[in-house]
């Protein structure tokens, strides 16, 4: 069996068409889109085209898209930019299971003297509208809640949450890095003020992302300089990255429905094989209200890191917790906020599928999981053939 990559929530391989579009820009279109001469105008054409492609993927207008260095920077601009434009309003609300790009930004605001409310989640990792409604105040300027969680894949009711925020006069930002290209994401349907997405989670290059901002939403710039991206985010544009993001967005728009239907089928197979063949295993997150390509599984009597290592040696890549916070062995803040018992918390592995994953690979992974879990349990003093 060739290598099996089941870590698409951490990053995705670049579509070959995307790499070709980037190569073309690097070799044949070196202009600076701010230059008025023919070289600049040539580059500006590619920049405009990419902006249109990236906007179309979420049903936005090109003028509402601001390119950034990735999802992390877009999240930072949404949080700090709206705080700087909020005047006397000093209260921000987020949830306990956000990506650190949002959570740590909000915690930094708290350190600077803002009031921060971190909403709890239920056992599935979902935020409840009633909890948000009870926390909103007249001085709440921003609510930032993610669409789909990067670890357990649970999908929040963003439309309802955004409506509650608006009723209280607050802006609503959604981190949609994990949901774009996996489930329907349309800014008009969701009725959000700001939305973050990232190229490398939809088979584009790393180091480029975008913030959608509805035109009448006031936020202050965070990067000062030459005034690119309509004054919001200065710096000469990352042209190969942006063009790659545009191409990835256009291809994702064509492909995602068929591909995600296949991912769902294979993900369901992996979950079924695991739960039926491995005793004391469980699926974390919501059983149905979840991303189609995510399976977060726990195995009692197992140390997740040890199982991860065994799978790695056998050529299967997955993730313990999220790649973004790995390297540390502190348990996932997401699973902790969901109230998971220690035995499930420390044995959780995330499998995230994507383009190119086959049924053969999934059956191989399921077989391997069964073998390795058995092997590790045999060596455990706590497991006595239960």
Token pair of 196 as six digits: 């973050």
- The count of other CB atoms within 10 Å of the CB of residue 90 is 17
Judged by CB under 6 A, the stretch of 24-32, 51-59, 65-73, 342-350 that binds ligand PLP is: 65-73
- Closest approach, Cβ 77 to ligand PLP, in A, equals 12
Q: Which of residues 242-301 bind ligand PLP (CB under 6 A)?
A: none
Between β-strands 65-68 and 209-213, what pairing exists: parallel, antiparallel or unpaired?
antiparallel
247: left (phi over 0), alpha (psi -120 to 50) or beta: alpha
Q: Is 324 a catalytic residue?
A: yes
Beta bridge partners of residue 119, listed in sequence order:
95
**Consecutive H or E run containing 250:** helix 239-277
Interface mask (CB under 6 A) for ligand PLP, residues 195-224, using x and -?
---x-xx-------x---------------
- Closest approach, Cβ 207 to ligand PLP, in A, equals 8
The helix/strand/coil state of 264 is helix
Judged by CB under 6 A, the stretch of 50-58, 137-145, 174-182, 345-353 that binds ligand PLP is: 174-182
Distances (CA, A) of 367 to 4, 231, 280, 371: 13, 54, 16, 6
Q: Does 354 bind ligand PLP (CB under 6 A)?
A: no
User: Which residue lies nearer to ligand PLP by CB, 263 or 373?
Assistant: 263
Q: Does 156 bind ligand PLP (CB under 6 A)?
A: no
With CA atoms as reference, report the closest residue to 207 among 171, 164, 239, 163.
Answer: 239
Judged by CB under 6 A, the stretch of 85-93, 194-202, 304-312, 360-368 that binds ligand PLP is: 194-202
Among 31, 33, 71, 285, binds ligand PLP (CB under 6 A): 71
Judged by CB under 6 A, the stretch of 45-53, 64-72, 135-143, 277-285 that binds ligand PLP is: 64-72
Alpha helices in the chain (DSSP H): 16-28, 38-57, 71-84, 100-111, 129-135, 158-167, 187-190, 239-277, 304-313, 333-337, 342-345, 359-378
- Closest approach, Cβ 317 to ligand PLP, in A, equals 16
With CA atoms as reference, report the closest residue to 317 among 308, 307, 326.
Answer: 308
Q: Does 362 bind ligand PLP (CB under 6 A)?
A: no
- The count of other CB atoms within 10 Å of the CB of residue 289 is 15
Q: Does 175 bind ligand PLP (CB under 6 A)?
A: yes
- Closest approach, Cβ 342 to ligand PLP, in A, equals 25
Among 178, 252, 294, 361, binds ligand PLP (CB under 6 A): 178
- Closest approach, Cβ 348 to ligand PLP, in A, equals 17
- Closest approach, Cβ 176 to ligand PLP, in A, equals 8
User: Which residue lies nearer to ligand PLP by CB, 114 or 245?
Assistant: 245
Q: Does 21 bind ligand PLP (CB under 6 A)?
A: no
Among 60, 97, 101, 318, binds ligand PLP (CB under 6 A): 101
Cα-Cα-Cα-Cα torsion 309, 310, 313, 318, nearest 10 degrees, comes to: -60
- Closest approach, Cβ 310 to ligand PLP, in A, equals 26
Token pair of 297 as six digits: 């599984």
Q: Return d(Cα 271, Cα 204) in angstroms, integer.
A: 28
Q: Does 60 bind ligand PLP (CB under 6 A)?
A: no
Among 76, 95, 105, 150, binds ligand PLP (CB under 6 A): 150
Q: Return d(Cα 86, Cα 106) in angstroms, integer.
A: 14
With CA atoms as reference, report the closest residue to 274 among 1, 2, 6, 3.
Answer: 6
Q: Does 51 bind ligand PLP (CB under 6 A)?
A: no
Q: Please tell me what DSSP assigns to residue 88.
A: T
Q: Return d(Cα 318, Cα 8) in angstroms, integer.
A: 9
Among 8, 91, 99, 173, binds ligand PLP (CB under 6 A): 99
Q: Return d(Cα 27, Cα 32) in angstroms, integer.
A: 14
Binding site for ligand PLP (CB under 6 A): 70-72, 75, 99, 101, 146, 150, 175, 177-178, 198, 200-201, 209
Active-site residues: which are they? 324
């Amino acid at each position: 069996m060739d290598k099996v990559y089941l870590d698409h929530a951490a990053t995705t391989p670049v579509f070959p068409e995307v790499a070709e579009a980037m190569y073309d820009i690097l070799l044949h279109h070196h202009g600076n889109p701010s230059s008025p001469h023919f070289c600049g105008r040539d580059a500006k054409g590619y920049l405009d085209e990419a902006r249109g492609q990236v906007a179309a993927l979420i049903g936005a207008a090109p003028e509402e898209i601001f390119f950034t260095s990735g999802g992390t920077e877009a999240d930072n601009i949404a949080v700090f930019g709206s705080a700087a434009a909020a005047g006397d309003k000093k209260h921000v609300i987020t949830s306990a299971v956000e990506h650190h790009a949002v959570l740590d930004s909000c915690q930094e605001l708290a350190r600077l003297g803002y009031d921060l409310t971190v909403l709890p989640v239920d056992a599935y990792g979902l935020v409840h509208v009633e909890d948000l409604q009870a926390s909103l105040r007249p001085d709440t300027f921003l609510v930032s809640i993610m669409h789909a969680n990067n670890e357990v894949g649970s999908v929040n009711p963003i439309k309802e949450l955004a409506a509650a925020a608006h009723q209280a006069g607050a802006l609503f930002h959604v981190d949609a890095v994990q949901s774009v290209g996996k489930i329907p994401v349309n800014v008009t349907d969701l009725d959000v003020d700001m939305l973050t997405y990232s190229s490398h989670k939809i088979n584009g290059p790393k180091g480029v992302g975008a913030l959608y901002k509805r035109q009448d939403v006031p936020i202050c710039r965070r990067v000062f300089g030459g005034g690119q991206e309509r004054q919001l985010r200065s710096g000469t544009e990352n042209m190969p990255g942006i063009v790659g993001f545009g191409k990835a967005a256009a291809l994702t728009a064509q492909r995602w429905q068929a591909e995600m239907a296949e991912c769902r089928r294979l993900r369901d197979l992996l979950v079924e094989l695991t739960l039926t063949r491995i005793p004391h295993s469980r699926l974390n997150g919501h059983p149905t209200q979840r991303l189609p390509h995510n399976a977060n599984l726990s195995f009692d009597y197992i140390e997740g890191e040890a199982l991860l290592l065994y799978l790695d040696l056998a050529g299967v890549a997955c993730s313990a917790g999220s790649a973004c916070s790995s390297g540390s062995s502190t348990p996932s803040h997401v699973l902790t906020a969901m109230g998971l018992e220690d035995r499930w918390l420390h044995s959780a592995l995330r499998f995230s599928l994507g383009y190119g994953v086959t049924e053969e690979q999934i059956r191989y992974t399921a077989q391997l999981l069964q073998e390795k879990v058995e092997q590790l349990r045999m060596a455990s003093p706590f497991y006595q053939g239960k």
